[in-house]
A and B are shown apart, each in its own frame.
Chain A
Amino acid sequence: MSSEEATAQQSQSLVGLLAALESIGPAAQEAIAQAADAKALEDLRIEYLGKKGKLSELNQRMGALDAREKPIAGKALNLNKNAITDLLRQRQESLSARELDARLATEAVDVTLPGIRPQRGALHPIALMTREITSIFRSMGFQVESGPEIETEYMNFDSLNIPREHPARDMQDSLFVDRGYVLRTHTSPTQIRTYLKMKPPFAVITTGKVYRHDSDATHSPMFHQMEGFAVGEDISFGHLKNVLYEFLRALYGKDVKVQFRPSFFPFTEPSAEVDVWSEARGCWLEVLGSGMIHPNVLRNGGIDPEKYSGFAFGLGIDRLAMLKYGISDLRLLFENDLRFLRQF
């Protein structure tokens, strides 16, 4: 239908209304696009969509139309109303986006300023190493015992098959205290203490401070040892090998290269030093001393060596920590310098 024909069929009132509508649309669009802020936009909403707004005005003029024309006018009015509403909303959105942008621009900070970092403390490397070792042996079923650091000479030496004449018993090698006691030179007295109070079979580790009369670049008068031992009716060197292999695999990975080398300790027989191959250094590193518990030692602990056998092993925690964390100087371990400690 051409517009002429349509016009011919429609009353003057309808034609006028539609014409008014037609001029409102572009004017509204223009005004909304020009609105500079939320206030101007609200004014336009009232101007067009308010109770006394331009569309309401036209709406009232619908009363003059006949029933056939009303829907036509209503539809046109609605279309215009929706269109203006949409335009207002769109403009509103774009204005608020711009406002937000402007506000955010003022909030910008120098993102290269340092973050406010909470100060983190740190466990001592010896404590970290002790935890790691202990948790490996715990997972293997070992229980943890402890023993005193100030010992009788009997517990520290005689009971462990170290005779009176042994160099370790010299003032040059061990630290002695009042009343004829000695600062334990190893964690091994805990073996005897455990034997005297527990009934085999058992598997135990113990860790702690030990002392020697020694102080230079590679020796500290106080250091830390871990000692493990298992006693039962059927324990052999094969068990010792397995336990230490398991431990070293847990510590250094499953491909670790290990060597057992004959050595001598008064409290084990046969004795073995255990070395781990260091690819980085290209040499074997001594990490553990071990062996089958000497029958005299079992006997001193009240355990019948004919009925029971056992193995024992020990390691220096400080040295192991130094290897693990690449600590170059032993003195750093006891200087308690925060710059050193914070690294762990």
Chain B
Amino acid sequence: MRLSIRWLKNYLQTDLPVGKLLDAITACGLEVEERIDLGMLSGKLVVGELLNVEPIPGAEKIRLTAVQADEGQPLKIVCGAQNIKTGQKVPVARFGMTFPDGMVLKPRKIMGIEGQGMLCSARELGVSEEAEGIWILPEDVEVGAPYDALVEVGITPNRPDALSVIGVARDLVAKINTMKGFKASLRMPDLHVNESATEKVESAARVSVVAKEDSPRYTARVIKGVKVGPSPLWMQVALQSAGMRPINNIVDVTNFVMLELGHPLHAFDLDRLAGNQVIVRHATAGEVMQTLDGQELKLQQTDLVIADAQKPVALAGIMGGANSEISDGTTNILLESAYFRPQTIRATSKRLDKSTDSSYRFERGTDAKRLTASLNRAAQLIAETGGGTILRGVLEVVGALPEKGSIKVRVSRLNHILGLDLTATNITEVLTRLGFEVLRSDGEEMHVTVPSHRMDVSIEADIIEEIARIVGYDRIQEVPLTLPSANHPPSRIDTARATLSDAAVAQGFCQAVNFSFIGEADDALAGGAGELIRVKNPITSDQGVMRRSLLPGLLRNVVHNFNQSLDDVALFEIGHTYAFTEPKDARRGEKDLKPVAQETPFFAAILAGGGKRSWRDKEHEFDFFDIKGFAEYFLSSLGLQKYLTEPVTDIPWLHPGRAARFLVKGRIMVTFGEVHPSITRQLDIRRRVCYLEIPLDDAAAEMGGDVKARDIPRYPAVTRDIALIVDRGARSMDLERTIRKAGKELLAGVKLFDVYEGDKMEAGRKSLAFSLTYRAPDRTLKDQEVIDRHGEVLAALQKENNATLRG
């Protein structure tokens, strides 16, 4: 809500300077989000009076003005606007004034004349987008005084009562009076109404409410014989300051009173209401109406309308109908001040995507008990500015409203929660200024009634909050928190996460963060366990389903980086996959602590492309053995040294001949391999992509604890290298197993160091070279021992693996 400080100060009498006033607004919990200086903050913009406007010889449009803007000589200012006349009050920017667009006013010459300031338009000042010409100010403003400051106040949804000038002033009076050395008081606008007509309102119009639940209270007045025209300048300027566009004296009054007192009003052209009556009812299904913005609306039975004897004439609380709109020819007016149920207004406003200043207030809640205050204020202003007469009496439908009882507030509880030391007297003072009434108090227990405009206050905690925000959080002293136990080691899964990410970073992987939702087509790339969870209202279709695998997101990242010519991609991600695993009708309690869907934490890494990492390195493309090496590396960083390797042929998104998994105690600890080319091709990736994933729950369960150090060997080792010729299908792992089995306790290590499958090999065969280390833990081995044992190893390889020694 945009608030004019000038307008505010009509009601708020205070000695607090404007700068501090803005801080006080924020300190009340009504946040000042933006400020537009119209002189009150910088002093660089003042009200000036045009003493003279004369043409400049040789210039057609530009004129020279003399402006009285302080006690000194009139200022010479060149101005190109056409709407200025002698005697007008105008905003005068002095040198150094900063405009909202950042421009700072500096001296410059126009037509050879150096001006002494600038006359400003409402647009230049950031007041209005539409205004043309210089912003003409009301006649009664004081010449030479800074004009105003406009602030955008962020009102939280619980405080509709603060959506008005008076509402903000009310909080400020309470606030400022708790500030040392400052005082404030509230001067309410004149709410007196002069019913100058002799005619009674009942003879001119009728009001009935059918939808009593949605509109428990409805009041109206009739003003006859008005003359529609522009509203007075002071009212137009006030509306512009608040960011509204002046329309005509009748509509402007309803807007002015809404901004002033917070209650939205609506004016109907009484002569266009069939039967001279209004009926508050629900729309009939499919009923059509045209609102005054020209839009044709199709209504539902849940929509609340104001109708005459034949048709809807307004969408209740949201916007009037074109058919009953105030026009230049309007003479008789039915003025409405009503209460509508917030939920009803909100539902219709949302559904029809129609939000107005009026609906904004109704859907947050308006003061149902003070409808006539606004009604009277507006009727009086219409009579004053439109020249009509107010008929005697008010048309009222007054349904019952839930009564709020008093609230019990304990002083000790309040002080305990806030960490303050206030007395019942302090509390009473603050509450009274906010409009609360303390019915009785014994110094500890207070009974408080809530003013009708504070819909948000109903329990003790609400009162405690009122005291906190008015007394101020800066009064509350810090108190150190003492916790019963200060040592909570990280959970195993958090440790596993940290270990794996550190290990990945050390090896050149960058961490990716992808959205948890992906497109359905991307889900199809990798599939996943469990029932797919669909997002009901995704923002875009590529965010339509919850991911069941981290692979699609990482593949998209590969595509992105390849497109940026980044060919050496190593990324990892830590995150959940999501799926329903329970049958649809599984009954769940509201407070069930079990998650509603299966959320499985994964660590996943992707390697793609490759290249020449430095001028000295060779061209390299990642393949299965790179990802396998990382799979081994990640397990070892988790302290897992022992695992079984198993080829993977049953995962459709992995290359059937280049994929495997490691199992620890029967659990799959890593699945890894090259991504199936049929999948990468769908994404237009032309290079090998390698992927691994580790289910973190299993990793956390199995990961090793502290390292147990082993002694280093004391006796020398003997190394024997062997090159074996084996069948092409023979597996390195099987040969190694034979070697270990036959080498028994003397074999301290075996390492594959070469693989040869070239054309020098006999068809169907290949060569694998191993380096075998023999050692005894307690003595130096004798030559003969090694010869004997090595012989047994070779014999076993020959027998079990059809291996021959390469010559």
Chain A: residues with CB nearer than 8 A to chain B? 113-114, 116-124, 126-127, 131, 138, 140-144, 148-152, 154-155, 158-159, 165, 167, 170-172, 175-179, 181, 183, 192-193, 196-197, 201, 203, 209, 211, 213-215, 221-222, 230, 234-239, 241-243, 245, 259-264, 269-273, 292, 294-295, 309, 333-339, 341-342
Q: Which residues of B contact A193 (CB under 8 A)?
A: 593
Q: Is B580 on the interface with A (CB-CB < 8 A)?
A: yes
**Distance between Cα atoms of A215 and B28 in the complex (Å):** 31
In whole angstroms, how far apart are the Cα atoms of A177 and B597 in the complex?
A: 11
Stretch at the interface among B284-292, B329-337, B505-513, B709-717: B505-513
CA distance A142 to B563 in the complex (A): 44
Considering only CB atoms, which chain B residue lies closest to A145 in the complex?
B491
Chain A residues within 8 Å of B617, by CB: 116
Given contacts A117-B614, A262-B29, contact A245 B159 (CB under 8 A): no
CA distance A149 to B488 in the complex (A): 24
> Which one, B350, B478, B512, B537, contacts A176 given CB within 8 A?
B537
Inter-chain contact A121/B510, CB cutoff 8 Å: yes
- B618 at interface by CB-CB < 8 Å: no
- CB–CB A338/B465 < 8 A: no
Q: Which residues of chain B are within 8 angstroms of A151 by Cβ–Cβ distance?
A: 596
In contact, A148 and B599 (Cβ under 8 angstroms): yes
- Interface stretch, picked from B201-209, B245-253, B416-424, is B416-424
Q: Would you call B537 and A239 a contact (CB within 8 A)?
A: no
Q: Are B478 and A245 in contact (CB under 8 A)?
A: yes
Complex Cα spacing A334 to B515, Å: 7
Q: Provide the residues of chain B in CB contact with A209, threshold 8 Å.
A: 516, 575
Residue B27 lies at the interface, judged by CB distance under 8 Å to chain A: yes
B633 to chain A, nearest CB (A): 13
- Known interface pairs A178-B534, A237-B419, A309-B417. Does A336 touch B488 (Cβ–Cβ under 8 Å)? no
22 contacts between A and B (CB under 8 A): A117-B614, A119-B568, A121-B508, A121-B511, A123-B501, A141-B488, A152-B588, A159-B591, A177-B535, A178-B536, A181-B596, A209-B575, A211-B516, A221-B515, A235-B481, A236-B416, A239-B480, A241-B478, A260-B474, A262-B27, A262-B469, A269-B461
Is B584 in contact with A179, judged by CB distance below 8 angstroms? yes
Q: How many angstroms from the CA of A113 to the CA of B459 in the assembled complex?
A: 74
Q: Are B419 and A269 in contact, with the CB atoms below 8 A?
A: no
Q: A341 to chain B: closest CB distance in Å?
A: 4
Interface mask (B535-554 → A, CB under 8 Å = 1, otherwise 0): 11111100100100000000
Contacts A144-B488, A193-B593; is A336 near B512 (CB within 8 Å)?
A: yes
A222 to chain B, nearest CB (A): 5
Chain B residues near A124 (CB-CB < 8 A): 510-513
Point out the residues of chain B lying under 8 angstroms from A155, CB to CB: 590
A190, chain B: closest CB distance, angstroms: 11
- Given A121-B508, A241-B479, A341-B511; 5 other pairs, CB 8 A cutoff: A114-B615, A151-B596, A171-B536, A336-B561, A337-B566
Contact status of A264 and B157, CB under 8 A, knowing A241-B476, A272-B473, A334-B514 = yes
**Chain A residue with Cβ nearest B537:** A171
* Residues of chain A with a CB closer than 8 A to B588's CB: 152
Closest 3 CB pairs of A and B: A238-B419, A262-B29, A238-B479
Is A177 a contact of B481 with CB atoms below 8 Å? no
Instruction: Report the Cα distance A126→B795, complex, angstroms.
Output: 58
| Minimum CB–CB distance for A55 against chain B, Å | 47
Complex Cα distance, B485 from A214, in Å, reads 40
List A contacts of B614 (CB < 8 A): 114, 116-117
Q: Does any Cβ of A come within 8 Å of B170's Cβ? A: no
Q: Is B464 an interface residue (CB 8 A)?
A: yes
| Contact between B546 and A295, CB atoms less than 8 A apart | no
Chain B residues, Cβ within 8 Å of A214: 539
Mark B168-198 against chain A: 1 for CB-CB distance below 8 A, else 0. Answer: 0000000000000000000000000000000
- Bound Cα distance from A138 to B511, whole angstroms: 23
B481 in contact with A178 (CB, 8 Å): no
- A175 lies within 8 A of B538 (CB): yes
Report if B31 contacts A (CB, 8 A).
yes
Instruction: Report the Cα distance A85→B571, complex, angstroms.
Output: 67
The answer to whether B591 touches A261 (Cβ under 8 A) is: no
Is B12 part of the binding interface, using a Cβ–Cβ cutoff of 8 Å? no
B contact residues around A159 at 8 Å (CB): 590-591
> Cβ of B346 and Cβ of A165 under 8 Å apart?
yes
Chain B residues 674-727 with CB under 8 Å of chain A are none
Q: What residues on B are CB-neighbors of A179 within 8 Å? A: 580, 584, 596
Is A122 in contact with B469, judged by CB distance below 8 angstroms? no
From the candidates A222, A239, A273, A338, name the one contacting B561 in the complex (CB within 8 A). A338
Known: A148-B599, A238-B478, A339-B564. A215 touches B506 (CB 8 A): no
What residue in chain A is nearest B158 (Cβ atoms)?
A: A264
Interface contact B513-A126, CB-CB below 8 Å = yes
**B417, B498, B576, B614 interface centre (most CB from chain A within 10 Å):** B417
From the candidates A117, A141, A234, A239, name the one contacting B485 in the complex (CB within 8 A): A141
Q: Which residues of A contact B480 (CB under 8 A)?
A: 239, 242
Report whether A118 and B508 are in contact in the complex, using a CB–CB cutoff of 8 Å: yes
A144 interface neighbour in B494, B536, B561, Cβ under 8 Å: B494
- Min CB–CB distance B278 → chain A (angstroms): 27
Q: A230 to chain B: closest CB distance in Å?
A: 6
